[in-house]
Structure 1
Amino acid sequence: MKSIIIEDESIAAIRLQNLIQEVNDQIIITKVLSSVNESIHYLSTENPDLIFLDINLSDGYSFEIFKILDINVPIIFTTAYSEYAIKAFEQNSIDYLLKPVTKETLQRSINKFFLLNKKQLPAYKDLFLHTEHEYKKRFLVKMNTHLKTIDINQVAYFYTDEKLTFIKLWDGKKIPIDFSLKKLEQELNPLDFFRINRKYIVHLKSIGEMYYSSKSRIKIALKPASHESNIFVAIEKLGKFKKWLSI
């Protein structure tokens, strides 16, 4: 069970790590972070199973992390200030522990985490668990004066250009459709399609090459080729994107 601690006081971080090991040795602390910026950088590419999160960090409040990244990981907040409790529970919070954290309160929080994990409550389910949802199988499109159906198996990816949405077929043709990408996200099977940024939803097999253009940016070459040469996975989606690729 991989977990991280986000805490700007080194002594408090060491004490918490020792307490965690005493309470449950299944929880392995793989990283200790101390700032908002450091946490954003780390969590943009990594997906721990549990986060122990202080609120007051060296460069600001930890709530700033959630403004940048979509964190879908259970969180146990630790802080010396009780006034942030309500705001903390607006996130994926399991518990809110006041410092100094005791062995008893930590045990209670960790027990709650394992109970929720066992029951697989919706907030902590894996994003891509199979459901009974009926996904889109075909699209009815207008081509000049004709109507035509496009089977989902013909689609390489969807994209927007000049406020219009297009289907890109495997044979390279592009066809406008009357769908927003937001609507398509709800209609497409998430095992096959992923929204990599605000302009593209791609099929797994449409991804040709991937490489890091910087430490936290992945550039993608699509097939068939897109009209754009620079297509990047949004930073806030990197963690989920990697998870999607490895299902």
Structure 2
Amino acid sequence: MKKFIYILTIISSIILAGCKTNVHYNTQATMAGIVILLICTLFIVLAVYSNILRDEISNCEEFEANAKQLQQKSRWKLVDKSAPFSLTNVQFGLWTVIISSAYIYLALCKGDCSETDINKTALVLMGIFAGTAVASSVIDKNEMADNRPRHQNMPSQGFFIDILSDDNGISLHRFQNLAWTMIAVTVYLYKISQVTTGCQLPELSDTLLALTGISNVTYLVLKGKENDPTVKEAQQENSNNPVINNTQVNGMPVNHVAARDATAAIG
């Protein structure tokens, strides 16, 4: 933590030392740079040293068993005992940092944001990813309430493997969701760089916003099935809990007929 503060102090000093002309503009630019740097630094620190971007572990015994299994496979390499990264949390956090940083940059360097209309794209993007985060949390809580085995109860295997993998490995629905997120981020940042005057957050096309929304809905639907038991597991559970045969003979259940016959034989 001290290293991050030290680096932040050095970068801030360099930015302030570069302000030689146009004091008013450079002061605002410096303020914007410092605030954006603080937001990004805090986000990275929390991502590394906290669980802000990670999945919740619902079964510690299952987690430890999975950690031992991974350790046996990796042999000499120590297994990271941290919880895996969450695709939903990563996307929500990323867009929070991008939109807040863009607003600060435009407000302090390009114009007065109070004179602009409500930005549709910012509201839609935050709505999509906030809604995805809420729905994903509901799915996770329901799975925890069922006490079912979850692939989230697995130690972290690396950032990209964590966010792209389900119980069967790298999954297509997670990959497409990440791909459309990166496309939207790239276009959004490019449009911010093209703003010359005025505090106007960039607008993305309706097509791109619709594709991003569809991508997140697809991800949520398939995420809800990631931890469903396999056909083999379901068959094994059914064999352990056989269904009582309720076939009737002359209007009486078979088990009742067998009990009646046994009683008559004893008599």
TM-score category (smaller protein): under 0.3
Q: TM-score, normalised by structure 1?
A: 0.24
| Greater fraction strand | 1
Q: TM-score, normalised by structure 2?
A: 0.23
